[in-house]
A = this chain, B = another copy of it.
Amino acid sequence: MTGPRKARRATVHDVAAAAGVSRGTVNRVLNGGYVSSDARTAIEAAIAQVGYVPNRAASQLARQRSQAVGFLALEPHSLLLEDPNIGAIMLGANAVLSLADHQMVSLVIDSDRDMQRVGRYLSGGFVDGAIIVSARSHDPITRLIAEIRLPATFVGHPPDLDRSIPFVGIDNTGSARAVTQRLLDTGRKRIGMIAAALDRDSGADRLTGFKQAMGDRFDPQLVADVPLYDYTYGVKGMRALLDREPLLDGVFAASDAVAAGALEALREAGRRVPEDVGLVGFDDSSWAQRTQPALSTVHQPAREIGRHAAESVLRQIAGHPVEPSVLLDSPVVWRQSA
């Protein structure tokens, strides 16, 4: 992990050699773990003999452990300003890490400069592992984490993710299929979708699920494609769909924020929800219960996603095997909008 040593500071290796024990045994003593009293006596003598500095910071450097785990938000504008789930994911992850006495440190990547500096931070031993939200396969951080083999778990997965990096998420495709199917089952004939964030796995998978449910009835003209999961884009996407198909009677919006914007555009156009148009969202975020009418949507178990991601990283740090992918349940929730 480290480059050639330039100087004479005593290391855990020196202590282990002088005491005639393994490096792991020395680390257990330094970290307060159990060892035999003979081994402990030998190690304490060796520490004094070689001049090893057994303070917390130095021992962390020596064993390359920081007791910290990074939480990386790769799309800060949409995540921190718009995403209703990021806070709950962070709190879920923090709860698990805290119980394991690990400090969660959230790192924002908002520029190339940030990307490079965070890359150095991750490589520099300041964290033992990382949880990465909203990664895309071409992100330099994704490549870096694979290269330096940092214990890491993704929330969601880039479509062509290095399979060695585990992820936690939901079945976006299946849930999108289920919520669209319900629009069909309730008799809607001309159903469109406001697709968002197609460069992310979640956005692409939700469109795939919509296509699967629509089958032969899928009409590419009835897909409006917007860049972000955002209220304002929901307004724009809905206006575009209504221009293309005035007889539209069902809409799947790729997120609740998008659905809230769509609701506004439908209201502008004098279309009643659910009487004239059935509308469904995705996320079960705070938006869903605050629109009029409340949104039928897909429930995202955000806190559980955070917990599972943290557990996965901790297991990797401890050298234990982990599930390559964990998909949590994301059931459809029926309210008034469809």
Contact = CB atoms under 8 A, between A and B. Distances in A.
B98 A6 contact: no
A108 B80 contact: no
Interface in A70-89: 71, 76-77, 79-82, 86-88
Interface stretch (A52-60, A150-158, A325-333): A52-60
Contact of A107 (B77, B103, B126): B103
A197 B71 CA distance: 29
Given A61-B58, A91-B80, A260-B290, A108 B104 contact: yes
Number of copies: 2
A135 B77 CA distance: 25
A231 interface: yes
A110 B97 CA distance: 12
Interface in A107-123: 107-108, 110-111, 113-114, 117-118, 121
A9 interface: yes
Given A6-B54, A231-B286, A101 B77 contact: no
Contacts of A104: 107-108
Q: Which of A68, A86, A87 has the most chain B CB atoms inside 10 A of its CB?
A: A87
A110 B307 CA distance: 14
Interface string A246-287: 000000000000001000100100000000000000000010
A140 interface: no
B57 A61 contact: yes
A102 to B, nearest CB: 8
A54 B79 CA distance: 39
Contacts of A324: none
Contact of A110 (B91, B114, B264): B91
A94 interface: yes
Nearest to A102: B117
A105 interface: yes
Contacts of A118: 103
A148 interface: no
Contacts of A264: 290
Given A110-B95, A124-B56, A80 B76 contact: no
A293 interface: no
A53 B6 contact: yes
Given A9-B9, A105-B105, 11 more contacts: A7-B51, A7-B54, A9-B58, A57-B125, A98-B110, A98-B114, A101-B117, A103-B117, A105-B107, A106-B108, A260-B290
25 contacts: A6-B53, A6-B54, A6-B55, A7-B51, A7-B55, A9-B9, A9-B10, A9-B51, A9-B53, A9-B58, A68-B121, A68-B126, A71-B106, A76-B90, A80-B90, A81-B87, A81-B286, A90-B108, A91-B108, A94-B108, A98-B114, A101-B117, A103-B107, A104-B107, A105-B107
Interface of A: 6-10, 51-58, 61, 68, 71, 76-77, 79-82, 86-88, 90-91, 94-95, 98-99, 101, 103-108, 110-111, 113-114, 117-118, 121, 124-126, 231, 260, 264, 267, 286, 290, 292
- Would you list the 7 A-B pairs with minimal beta carbon distance, nearest first? A80-B87, A106-B106, A105-B105, A7-B53, A81-B87, A8-B51, A9-B53
